[in-house]
Chains A and B, each alone.
Chain A
C-alpha cells in the first residue's frame, strides 16, 4: 500500500474538515428550522456559555481598557491630543480589540469545553445511545450549543465593551482630574452607528463559528481519550484561526461599504 507523506495527510485532513464543517453547518440550519427545538437544553447552554464566561470576559475587558489608556496616554499627550484619548480607546476596543480578544478567550474557554464534552460523549457511546433510541443527538447537542454561542457571544462583547470603557476611565482618572461626564462625552463625541454595527455583526459570526467548529471537532472525534484531548485542542486552534480570517473579511467588507 502507498505510504502517504505527513504533508499530504495534513492537506487531506484540512480539506476534509472544510467540507465536513460546511455540511455540518447546513445540517445545523436544517435541524434548527425543521426539528423540535430543545428549549431547556438551550437555556442551560446559554447559562454555561454566557453567564459562566462573564467573569473572565469582564476582568479581561476592564484590564484591556485600563492598559490601553495607560500605554497610549503619554504618546497622545506628547502630540497634544489627550482630549481624543477616550474616543480613540473606545473605538479601538469596540470595533477591533474587544471582539477579537473576547472571541479568542471565548474559543479557549467555551470552544474547548464543547469540543471535549462532545468528544467524550462520542467515545463513551453516549451519542450512539441517543441515536439508537431514535432521538436526534444533533438537535439536542449541536443545535442548542451553536445557537447559545451565537446569541451569548455578542451580549458578552457588549458587556465587555462597557467594562473596557470603565477601565479606560479609571486609567485616565489616575493621571488627570477628568470627570466621568467629560470622559463620556469625549468617548462618544465622534462615535457613529457605522462604528458599532459592523462590529456587532462580526461578533454574531464569531459566536456562530466558535460553536460550529467546536461542535464539529467534538461530534466527529474518536480514538479514545487521546481523541478527547485532540478535539478540545483542535476546537481552540481552528476557532482562533477562523476568528482572524473572519475579522479580515469583516474589515474588508466594512471598508468597502462604509468608506
Chain B
C-alpha cells in the first residue's frame, strides 16, 4: 500500500495576508486513483494543488510526491518530479503566440531525453495526443481560435506530452456547457485508461465529481471535513456536505 502511494500531504498550512486559507490539510493519492477535491469557490482547492508543484510555498507541512519531499529538494530534483506531474489549468493556459502544435512541442523540445527522439517522432507524439483528445483538426490553429472546451482539451494534450504519471485537473468543467463538460469528464476517464495515470481533480461540479472520482474529499474553511465514495458522501447527514448534493 505504502509503495502505491504517489502523493502524501501532511498538516499543510497556508495563509495570505494573515488570512488562513489552508488549515492543516492531510491528503493522499494512490496509484491509478482519481481523487476529487470538492469545495466552494475560494475554499483553497487550487492553493493546495499549487503547493504540490511548488508554485506556492506553504507556511507549514510536508508534501511527498513519488516519495520525494518536494518542499525540501533542489530545483533540479523538483523539475524531475514536475515532469512526472501533468497540470491542467482552469482555462487551459495555452501559449497565445503559438499554434496548438507548437504549444505541445514546447515542453518536449526543452526536455533533453525527448529532444533526442527527433522532430519527426515528436510530431507523431503530438498528433497521437491530439487524436486522443479529439482535437487533431485544430493542430495548426492558434489558441484564440479555439472554444473554451477545445482549449482545455488542447491543454490536456500538452500535459500528456511528457507522459505524466499523475495529473492535476483544476476545475476541468467550469465554464463549459453540460454537453462539453460531459465530454471532458469522459476524457478524464479515458486518459486514465490509455495513459495509466492517477489524478487529483478539483471541482465544485458535483456531476464531474460523480463521474470521474473514485474517492471524494470535501474542503471547507481550509480543512478536509469528510472523505469517501460518492455514495458515502451523498448519504452523509453533515450540513456542509449535503449542500453539494442538494
Contacts and interface: CB of A to CB of B under 8 A. Distances in A.
B197 interface: no
A134 B96 contact: no
Interface in A132-191: 132-136
A136 B82 CA distance: 12
Contacts, number: 57
B18 A126 contact: no
Interface in B48-86: 50, 53, 55, 79-80, 82-83, 85
B107 A128 contact: no
Given A133-B162, A135-B110, A128 B82 contact: no
A55 interface: no
Given A1-B18, A128-B55, A134 B93 contact: no
B90 interface: yes
B111 interface: yes
A118 to B, nearest CB: 12
A125 B107 contact: no
Given A132-B53, A134-B111, A135-B106, A125 B93 contact: yes
Contact of A134 (B89, B91, B95, B107): B107
B7 to A, nearest CB: 15
B93 A124 contact: yes
B156 to A, nearest CB: 12
A129 interface: yes
A129 B86 CA distance: 10
A36 B80 CA distance: 17
A133 B53 CA distance: 10
A121 to B, nearest CB: 7
B179 to A, nearest CB: 25
A131 interface: yes
Contacts of B169: none
B33 to A, nearest CB: 21
A134 B55 contact: no
Contacts of B107: 133-135
B18 A132 contact: no
Contacts of A1: 18
A120 B91 CA distance: 13
B93 A126 contact: yes
Contact of A125 (B18, B79, B89, B111): B89
Nearest to B18: A1
Contacts of A120: 96
Contacts of B91: 124-125
B87 A129 contact: yes
Contacts of A131: 53, 55, 82
B129 to A, nearest CB: 14
Contacts of B53: 131-132
Contacts of A130: 95, 106
Interface of A: 1, 36, 120-121, 124-126, 128-136
Given A125-B91, A126-B93, A129-B89, 18 more contacts: A1-B18, A121-B96, A124-B93, A125-B89, A128-B55, A128-B93, A130-B95, A130-B106, A131-B82, A132-B53, A132-B55, A132-B85, A133-B106, A133-B107, A133-B159, A134-B79, A134-B110, A135-B110
11 contacts: A121-B96, A124-B93, A126-B94, A129-B95, A132-B82, A133-B82, A133-B107, A134-B80, A134-B110, A135-B106, A135-B107
Interface of B: 18, 50, 53, 55, 79-80, 82-83, 85, 87, 89-91, 93-96, 106-107, 110-111, 155, 158-159, 162
Q: Which 10 A-B pairs have the closest CB atoms?
A: A129-B93, A134-B79, A133-B107, A125-B93, A134-B82, A125-B89, A132-B87, A135-B110, A132-B53, A134-B83
